[in-house]
Chains A and B, each alone.
Chain A
Amino acid sequence: MKRLNNHRAALLIAGLVVSLAVVIGAVSAPPGLGAADRNPDGSYTGTKLEGATPAQWRLTWEEDPAHAATVSWTTAAEPEKSSVLYDTQPRNGELAKYAHTATASSGRYSDKDFKLWYNHAELSELKPATTYWFVMVSDGAASREFHFITAPEGDAEFKLLYGGDSRSDRDARRTMNRRMRALFEEDPEIIALAHGGDYVADGEEMEDWLEWLTDHELTVTAANRMLPLIPARGNHEAEGPLYDEVFNTPGRKDGNFYRTLIGEQFLLVTLNSNISAGGNQADFLETVLHENGKTRWQLANYHRPAYPAVKSPGSALEHWVPLFEKYNLDIAFESDGHTLKRTCAIRGGKQADDGVVYIGEGGLGVKQRTPKDDRWYFKGGVAASTLHVQKLTVKKDSLLVESITDKGKVYDAHTVKPRKR
């Protein structure tokens, strides 16, 4: 009887203490974002996927955007022949007038629930800083005429957008796509968008990609200028084949890491935080940074952060950060955290004026988290919970990175001066 009472007493005390702790925990939790912070629904449905009519267009840049680009689109029927007709003059969609043709490779997206085809036309031998007018044609069905501008050559000044994490919240993604289009229309010097990964919630589901691709059409300007993409793979794209089918396998096959040179003084290294960071990729990074040692501006773009604003650090901290510091990278763009961040300049795990700055964390269309802004590397930096895109203004004597919210407000601006290289 006494034992039974002892047991009851133990349970009673345990029950009271644990319940009390649970209540204290719940009450003391940080406030977070409420449902009222969501964005309103958009009504856009995109170009209808019907027969061989080109829809869901996108244009990707890889190693040499002054001379090459890939135009890609989706069709609902298997095309016998797909191509891009292009010219340096507008031809208003009159197919016979375009000077050049690039034949596209086509294939069925690897999702058996959808009968849809990708089409990739690789345009090469392009002239730098030149406007190209083009139409996509599949089995005689043509898109309207679009245009894009190739990257500049030489010691050029230009602007570039960076952002990541356009998954999970479609309303927010559309809002941000409209924001990017507004920036692109306002400022024709913007040449492309570097994406930090996590385009969709499940990168192995075509359904998610269809929504993303449809929404991506919103980044095209009213004058039909297309925003080129420089893509990085995020953890939500996992190792699935759809990412390569959507973006025509950017970078090395089974690796998706590569370097992009814009002009002769701007290097962007795109890395893949889904695969081994320390093996072939670290070797590649070291080679590229070594070979481009004299390039004035050196940046990297990858998904999982070394200096995260919310979660714990990824492998980049161990394998890439030492190389960034050795070769004096200017800025590393990081996504994944769903918050806006800019760290202080970091070297050797400490604030240092000559260190590397880590910017981003992903705000292109996912609910934003409350950042852990008390981490040491935000002293002298920024951490905030807002949808955002970064705009880079690349000049000879400065590199300005502005973090722009979904409302178009400049939330943070950071200027980097050229290093002695």
Chain B
Amino acid sequence: MSSSTAAKTILRVAVALTCVGAAAQMLLYGGPVLSWLWLNLDWSEAAALRVEHAAAFGLLACLPFVFWGKAWPVLKLIAAWLLFSAFASSMVEPWYPWLTPGAHAARYTAPLALAALSLPPAPRNRRLAEWLLRGGIAATFLCHGVEALLLHAQFIDYLIDASAKLLSHDLAESTASAMLVSIGVLDVAAALAILLPRRLWPVAAWMAFWGAVTAAARMVYLGWPNWPETLIRVTNAAVPLTLCLLWAVKPATETEHETTE
């Protein structure tokens, strides 16, 4: 399997899991679109629920087509919904709402990048895919980094909880806050580094690792009922991992042309 095929496979699985997570969030807990349409735009709850349920079923129906290269326009549909959902989040989220669309960027750029990779393997398409992945993960890390620098309460609690569970150590809030500032700086630095013209695969590898840790933290912290929150964030690890794989082999040396999908 070429690195490009592996990259595509990872993205496909990640996009599919994101669809499952987003659908589950809407069906189990209600998502931001419901709150926005109903509470902010004054729709009836019935109509807003209908929209979210329709979207959830739609996302689940998209799953088989995520794995069928020829149906790539479906990926744009998924990206459009996830972008819309990020926008709705920023309308209902009271804590620094302007950070939300950026923080969600990896979610909606991943299907777009996959669509670009599903096109004929021209260098132009591959470049487009690469920059969608780079831009998406950079925005996600940048916004999460800023949230960490603003001492997001939930992040402080993740650190306290992880310290108690993994190290049996009672972490003081002031220490957790100081650690969060370092994490924020690291996130922002990674976001900038991934955009440099030079392809720094160690940065991508670090982002993949950290993206996986922070996505998993959602479920480790509050237990399995929080699984949709982890799935929604799978792209935070999968997008940089895809970059790693794409960068492992230079496009010119790629031998396998994938026209069979």
Q: Are A238 and B225 in contact (CB under 8 A)?
A: no
Given contacts A29-B53, A279-B172, contact A34 B94 (CB under 8 A): no
How would residues 301 to 328 of chain A score, 1 for a CB under 8 Å from any chain B CB and 0 otherwise? 0000000001111010111000000000
- Stretch binding the partner chain, chosen from B69-77, B126-134, B241-249: B69-77
**With A and B bound together, what is the CA distance between A11 and B64 in angstroms?**
12
Nearest CB of chain A from residue B227's CB, rounded to whole Å: 10
- Name the CB-closest residue of B to A36: B44
Within 8 A of A (CB), among B42-72: 44-58, 60-62, 64-65, 68, 70-71
B189 within 8 A of A: no
Set of chain B residues within 8 Å of A312, measured between Cβ atoms? 28-29, 222, 225-226, 228-229
Q: Are A26 and B46 in contact (CB under 8 A)?
A: no
How would residues 154 to 171 of chain A score, 1 for a CB under 8 Å from any chain B CB and 0 otherwise? 000000000000001000
Given contacts A275-B153, A277-B153, contact A6 B70 (CB under 8 A): yes
B121 within 8 A of A: no
Q: Are B173 and A276 in contact (CB under 8 A)?
A: yes
How would residues 166 to 187 of chain A score, 1 for a CB under 8 Å from any chain B CB and 0 otherwise? 0010000000000000000000
Given contacts A23-B54, A25-B56, contact A31 B46 (CB under 8 A): yes
How would residues 75 to 110 of chain B score, 1 for a CB under 8 Å from any chain A CB and 0 otherwise? 001000000000000000011000000000000000
How would residues 17 to 58 of chain A score, 1 for a CB under 8 Å from any chain B CB and 0 otherwise? 110111111101111111100000000000000000000000
Size class of the contact patch on chain A: 35 or more
Within 8 A of A (CB), among B181-235: 221-223, 225-226, 228-229
Given contacts A29-B46, A203-B94, A279-B173, contact A318 B157 (CB under 8 A): yes
Q: Which of A13, A14, A24, A238 contacts B94 (CB 8 A)?
A: A238
- Name the CB-closest residue of A to B218: A312
A130 within 8 A of B: no
Nearest CB of chain A from residue B250's CB, rounded to whole Å: 28
Set of chain A residues within 8 Å of B54, measured between Cβ atoms? 22-23, 25-26, 29
Q: Which of B58, B157, B222 contacts A276 (CB 8 A)?
A: B157
Q: Are B29 and A35 in contact (CB under 8 A)?
A: no
**With A and B bound together, what is the CA distance between A32 and B35 in angstroms?**
13
Q: Are A7 and B70 in contact (CB under 8 A)?
A: yes
- Stretch binding the partner chain, chosen from A84-92, A102-110, A221-229, A366-374: A366-374
Q: Which of B30, B39, B53, B70 contacts A25 (CB 8 A)?
A: B53
Q: Are A25 and B38 in contact (CB under 8 A)?
A: no
Interface of B is mostly: helix
Given contacts A30-B49, A311-B29, A312-B225, contact A25 B173 (CB under 8 A): no
Q: Which of B38, B55, B154, B225 contacts A313 (CB 8 A)?
A: B225
**With A and B bound together, what is the CA distance between A23 and B58 in angstroms?**
8
B160 within 8 A of A: yes
B13 within 8 A of A: no
Set of chain A residues within 8 Å of B70, measured between Cβ atoms? 6-7, 10-11
Set of chain B residues within 8 Å of A33, measured between Cβ atoms? 44-46
Q: Are B154 and A315 in contact (CB under 8 A)?
A: yes
B156 within 8 A of A: yes
**With A and B bound together, what is the CA distance between A201 and B41 in angstroms?**
13
Set of chain A residues within 8 Å of B58, measured between Cβ atoms? 18, 21-22, 25
**With A and B bound together, what is the CA distance between A277 and B222 in angstroms?**
13
B10 within 8 A of A: no
- Name the CB-closest residue of B to A167: B39
Q: Are B44 and A35 in contact (CB under 8 A)?
A: yes
Q: Are B153 and A18 in contact (CB under 8 A)?
A: no
Within 8 A of A (CB), among B121-175: 153-154, 156-157, 160-161, 164, 172-174
Q: Are A367 and B53 in contact (CB under 8 A)?
A: no
Q: Are A276 and B156 in contact (CB under 8 A)?
A: yes
Given contacts A17-B61, A34-B44, contact A10 B222 (CB under 8 A): no
Nearest CB of chain B from residue A421's CB, rounded to whole Å: 26
Q: Are B57 and A21 in contact (CB under 8 A)?
A: yes
Q: Are A14 and B73 in contact (CB under 8 A)?
A: yes
Given contacts A235-B94, A235-B95, contact A313 B222 (CB under 8 A): yes
Q: Are A32 and B46 in contact (CB under 8 A)?
A: yes
Given contacts A203-B94, A238-B95, A310-B29, contact A370 B49 (CB under 8 A): yes
A202 within 8 A of B: yes
Given contacts A29-B49, A312-B229, A367-B39, contact A22 B55 (CB under 8 A): yes
Q: Are B157 and A18 in contact (CB under 8 A)?
A: no
Nearest CB of chain B from residue A306's CB, rounded to whole Å: 9
Within 8 A of A (CB), among B5-55: 28-30, 38-39, 44-55
Q: Are B61 and A18 in contact (CB under 8 A)?
A: yes
A63 within 8 A of B: no
Q: Are B45 and A277 in contact (CB under 8 A)?
A: no
Given contacts A25-B55, A25-B58, contact A168 B39 (CB under 8 A): yes
Q: Are B222 and A366 in contact (CB under 8 A)?
A: no
- Name the CB-closest residue of A to B23: A25
A216 within 8 A of B: no
Sample (15) of A-B pairs whose CB atoms are under 8 Å apart: A10-B70, A10-B71, A11-B73, A14-B73, A26-B51, A26-B54, A29-B53, A32-B48, A203-B94, A278-B157, A278-B161, A310-B29, A311-B30, A315-B154, A318-B161
Q: Pick the 7 closest A-B CB pairs, nearest first.
A: A279-B173, A25-B57, A21-B61, A32-B45, A32-B46, A29-B53, A10-B70
